[in-house]
Amino acid sequence: MDLYEYVCLSSFQITRREHSEVKVLLRDDVTLPILGKDEHGYILCLAKPRKMRNDKMSYLGLLFDSNDLLHKVLLWRIFKASM
């Protein structure tokens, strides 16, 4: 399961809405999670973790070492909490 599928399934479990009622967007240009609404339903816009130089990853302004298991766990937990 990739990141997008995980977010879609989790949003369905949390909101109890149909997939057509909640749009999920993963964006590079978003710094904080955004919940909005348009004429078709809700929009959940999340920041996408970015891979940087030297095996580093960035998410919500935080830097993580992709070779460190603890950093991977922390990144995953922070991503899940941002939903």
- Listed as own residue / partner, the contacts of 29-36 with beta carbons closer than 8 Å and 24 or more positions apart are 31/60, 31/61, 32/60, 33/82, 33/83
Query: What confidence score (pLDDT) does residue 7 get?
Result: 84
pLDDT at 33 over 80: yes
Query: Residue 28 phi/psi, 5° resolution?
Result: -80, -30
Span 32-57, average pLDDT: 89
Span 35-47, average pLDDT: 88
Q: What is the pLDDT of residues 45-77, one digit of tens each?
A: 999 889 998 889 999 889 999 999 999 999 999
Query: What confidence score (pLDDT) does residue 57 get?
Result: 93
Residue 27: CA count within 13 A, CB half-sphere: 13
Q: What is the pLDDT of residues 14-23, one digit of tens each?
A: 888 877 888 8
Cβ(55)–Cβ(66) below 8 Å: yes
Query: What confidence score (pLDDT) does residue 71 get?
Result: 94
Instruction: Give the separation between CA 69 and CA 81, rounded to whole angstroms.
Output: 18
Q: What single-letter DSSP state applies at residue 55?
A: T
